[in-house]
Structure 1
Amino acid sequence: MNITAAAKQYYEKMFPHSQSKLAETDPEFIELFDNFAFDEVVNQDDLDDRTRMIAIISTLIGCQGIDEFKAMVPAALNFDVTPVEIKEIVYQSVAYLGIGRVLPFLHAANDILTAQGIALPLPNQSTTTTDNRLEAGIQAQVDIFGDSMKDFWKSGAADTKHINQWLAANCFGDYYTRTGLDHLQREMITFCFLLAQGGCEPQLTSHAAANIRLGQDKKFLIKIISQCLPYIGYPRSLNGLRCVNEAAEQSE
């Protein structure tokens, strides 16, 4: 196989002293993929390895790439993504994909961490209670999206307004208020969940705007999409770029 030195070096950083089985069964494919993903893509921009790995494992949950998730979580640990960060990514994804799609990833994360000798459960990260989760969630929405979200939890038709209340109390009050990841990281992983699953372009545009509002600008989001492209393909990446452009135009 004609794999570049840069691709070999990056692969070794991710998976020290390991060899892909596909290199034996599908050497032509591995040459194409490794040279692209582990040389051309990672050297496209200056995104740091830790952020890249957080984005990739979030994206793999979003696109339901369970086998690649199992492969990449150990690589993320090798790039100093912490066990707490990995579990927080999985936990938050439930709000955006539902437990029906996330449960296999939770089991996989637990198996990988246990195999690494990491004791479970990890330290608690929750900062809210049943009494204050709604208030804390509303504040998180305001911090991320702006003052227009103060009363959003009360909006909507009588028979559906409970959904907006759940959005504040559950999605933001239960998850965004947890320690382990800050608001910027949580908005980035949400962007990745939505980018990867497709069909969520209105929400993707909204969260692209939230990222931009927090200082993670258009250039940063393009880097995230670029680094995730090998894992989700071109159609969803191009849709993501369109949403980022729309969000950037709205923020001007």
Structure 2
Amino acid sequence: MMTSDASKTNALSALLMLCLSAGAMFSVTTQAAEASQTVTISSASSESLSTRQQAIPLIAAFMAISDMPSLNAALNQGLDAGLSISETREILVQLYAYVGFPRSLNALNELMTVVQARKQRGIADAPGREPSRAIPVGAELLAAGTANQTKISGAPVKGPVFEFAPVINQFLQTHLFGDIFERDNLDWQSRELATVGALAATPGVESQLRSHMLASLRVGLSEAQLRQVTDLLKKHGDAQTAERAGTALAQALAASRK
């Protein structure tokens, strides 16, 4: 990670700014959306999470607190339930934008260890696939990322923080919602389940967690499925994580019904 190249250092600093600001973006934009329009919620295809989906918030929560033994168990649970190696890897890559590079890198190392151990036991996990289309660049990347951001946030992103630091929204639109969310080897419901799990395990980001509960509803997860997430976090995680998730869900549901 370390380099003497000043331009690479500046680029890394910019991405670290993104890590710190990704959650805040959802808090600001969701408040604007709630004030200006009714939240549109997509129809959910199921009232229960699949076994594959159930593993995702647990993987994310244990990654966020660097609980490697529990992460190891959750990674095995996810792979047993049908998550491909590519999907699992993508979850851990995406979450660097919410919990930071160090935790993401440590979790990816743990996934490598898990996959190798399973291979030695004769388990052939599905490799999955890489994104099926090329990620756009330049103006096309900005347009795609802005469209993704608006759809997930429920309204065009604006607010004082983006007037104060316009470049942060450019990073969000081109990198998080462009480079990452344009990768179609992991669906948006899975991406939101991962983000909710990670934020629920992180004290002090309750407003961002609430915003991601709303985003989860927008991408088609149901109230029952999100309640199941809180139950899973309570059963396999800790009471405070589950309590934060439950409170955020209740607030999101109240906002969506206004």
Structure 1 counterpart of 2:241: 236
Structure 2 counterpart of 1:143: 151
Query: 1:206 aligned to 2:211?
Result: yes
Query: 1:194 aligned to 2:199?
Result: yes
Query: 1:86 aligned to 2:88?
Result: yes
Per-residue CA deviations over 1:218-244 (Å, capped at 9, x if unaligned) read 222111111122343112211221111
Task: Give the SS at the match of 2:95.
Answer: helix
Judge conservation of contact 2:57–2:193 (CA < 8 Å) in 1: yes
Separation (CA, whole Å) in 2 of partners of 1:141 and 1:76: 28
Structure 1 counterpart of 2:61: 59
**RMSD between superposed Cα atoms in Å:** 2.5
Q: Identify the structure with bigger relative contact order (alpha carbons < 8 Å, sequence gap 6+).
A: 2
Change (3 A) 1:72 1:243: closer
TM-score by length of 1: 0.72
4+ long deviations beyond 4 Å = none
Rg (Cα) greater in structure = 1
Structure 1 counterpart of 2:113: 111
Change (3 A) 1:155 1:136: farther
Structure 2 counterpart of 1:171: 176
Judge conservation of contact 2:135–2:141 (CA < 8 Å) in 1: yes
Separation (CA, whole Å) in 1 of partners of 2:178 and 2:129: 19
Unmatched tracts of structure 1, length 5 or more: 1-44
Judge conservation of contact 1:128–1:136 (CA < 8 Å) in 2: no
What is the CA-CA distance between 1:123 and the residue it aligns to? 4.6
Query: 1:130 aligned to 2:137?
Result: yes
Q: How does 1:40-55 map to 2 (within 5 A)?
A: 46-55=48-57
Per-residue CA deviations over 1:22-44 (Å, capped at 9, x if unaligned) read xxxxxxxxxxxxxxxxxxxxxxx
Identity rate, percent: 25
Structure 1 counterpart of 2:11: none
Task: Give the SS at the match of 2:163.
Answer: coil
Per-residue CA deviations over 1:145-186 (Å, capped at 9, x if unaligned) read 23x22x54997234x221122122222112111122111221
Separation (CA, whole Å) in 2 of partners of 1:137 and 1:46: 30
Aligned pair count? 204
